[in-house]
Structure 1
Amino acid sequence: MKRLLTLALFSAATASAQGAVTFICGAQADWCQVVANAYKKETGQEAKFLRLSAGESLARLRAEKANPGFDVLFGGTGDVHETGTREKLLTFYKPRAWNDLYPELRQQVKNAYIPLYTGALGFAVNDTVLKRRNLPAPQDWTDLGDPRYKGLIAMPNPNTSGTAYTMITTLIQIYGEDRAFDLLKKIHNNVPRNGYTRPGSGAAFLAARGEVAVGVTFMHDAVAQNVRGFPVRAAAPRSGTGTEIGGVSLVTGGPNPEGGKKFIDFVLRPDIQKLAATVESFQIPSNSKTPVPAAAPNLDKIKLIDYDFAKWGETATRNRIISRWTKEVFPLPRR
């Protein structure tokens, strides 16, 4: 056992000495892979990653707090970066490109973490499935609770997905907490057994393949499925919707902090941010010098709420909201 521990420590130290970087991938795996490949090509150093959803990323960081195994958290919704910073699992690092990042993104997160991209929450709508059922497309959040959509709605699980947490807190900000939870219970009745997905993009995946008619997801994930040739489109709720500001953060006490900073500077460069669109990740990049992908949803044409990132990223608030959903909504039998 002692020998194994010594070998593990030696291996970590060797990787650090050689400049290798390890990161949690909270974005799409293809995006993380193309970034890792570009990093190795330019620097000659490895960038290894583990794909985890937002909630899973936070759980992993908490579990490894005494001995972190990662240098960077790349992607994932802002609540995880906010919470991680507050719990000192993540450390704010001011990157070289700081002044090139959109000022409104920096102001919205109150400089608590580094913005990497942004996007709006919405629906992935499969009109083919709806037409077959002779149903109209939902226009707003409240429509998702209509009994005529029974078995036809997919959404991610907030215990693993930052997308789902953003959905719940968006509903709270629009309708108030109790009304929002009443609506979530109605939506739950329309979600099939396999309709709660681990990642946020999973709901778009189910809609694209016709397993459901509507998936609650970030709209760029619906666009990605459309670009891949599936009969699904992105739609925004009429009464307004929330946004995410996905981040990139330095892990506190990671094995290679200098390598982590170097990697963060690398991924914020316009030429590297452009790589996202090459693997059908259509978020709006944070660097103002990076071209916005033509397929990315136009946020200027979407009714956006004034999402309070600091409030909903607070640890106690986040834990309470997710716990309430888990206790009051998820166990309910479908009628």
Structure 2
Amino acid sequence: MAVLVTGGAGYIGSHMVLELLDAGEQVVVLDNLSTGFRWAVPSEATLVVGDVGDQALVTRVIEEHGIDSVMHFAARIVVPESVTDPLGYYFNNTVKTRALIETAVQTGIKNFVFSSTAAVYGNAEAPLLTEDMPLVPINPYGRSKLMSEWMLQDAHAAHGLRYAILRYFNVAGADPKSRSGQSTPQATHLIKVAAQAALGQRPCLDVFGTDYATPDGTCVRDYIQVNDLARAHLVALKSLREGGDCAVLNCGYGHGASVLEVVDVVKRVSGVDFEVRLSPRRPGDPAQLVAKVDKIRGLGWQPQHDNLQEIVDQALRWERTLAERKVA
């Protein structure tokens, strides 16, 4: 049996493909390459260029390749962009996910692992966010993902589709073997942007908001290394395959760092004192998001890269790799 990875040519999806292949799984990637990269898909995986909302295509892929499990990463993910283009986000993240879930039900898919987000918690004020907290997302991105969570839960109740929903906190870093990383040039991930500033690829770094109710006034986030996150998906899939309960699982390390703390680490690791501009808040940004991760750890997940300096070093090395790729 094979695993279908939607969005497998993108940042997190490509790392998921690597982890699956390393675990001996047969992998089929479905990606429309709107933000992903053909070269990010290893030759050992099968790449199908197409859209998750194309139900005829997805049905054909599932039947031709003997897919038993779907891991769904394809989505738009930029919070400020979701505020200015909410309907685009609801279409890409919710309507197309609804189509994919329906196709999974119709073709007898057994397991569905869904890429969700800590944005579903909104402005929760607890020091650690738990999976059973009230969900009050404050931006269309978070709402689009929460709607998809509800659809999966309802599809399980009605049709028996088994699911694991993984709520990511802030994903960062790159594959330690430099096989993949965050490759979108205009990505908004803080550590990537700071690495680009350190390497002279951006003129400066903007810090959005310095008046939050946090120790230094900047947003606090729980940064999880991307391979650790991919392994959390493997653990969740293994649990489903072995008959474990459907689950909603936070994915983070259980501790946070502020924007200014991250900037300081990037400057220290890179050895470059790049320019930092203090700018007003962006719409839709919560002050603090830090995960309680007892549930995913209870399934046997153990992080291997819980070190901000290591994560920053990976990001810097990947930016250099990308620069060499462009030159070549």
Q: TM-score per shorter chain, which class?
A: 0.3 to 0.5
Structure with bigger RCO (C-alpha 8 Å, 6+ apart): 1
Q: TM-score, normalised by structure 1?
A: 0.32
Larger Rg: 1
Decide which structure has greater helix share.
1
Q: TM-score, normalised by structure 2?
A: 0.32
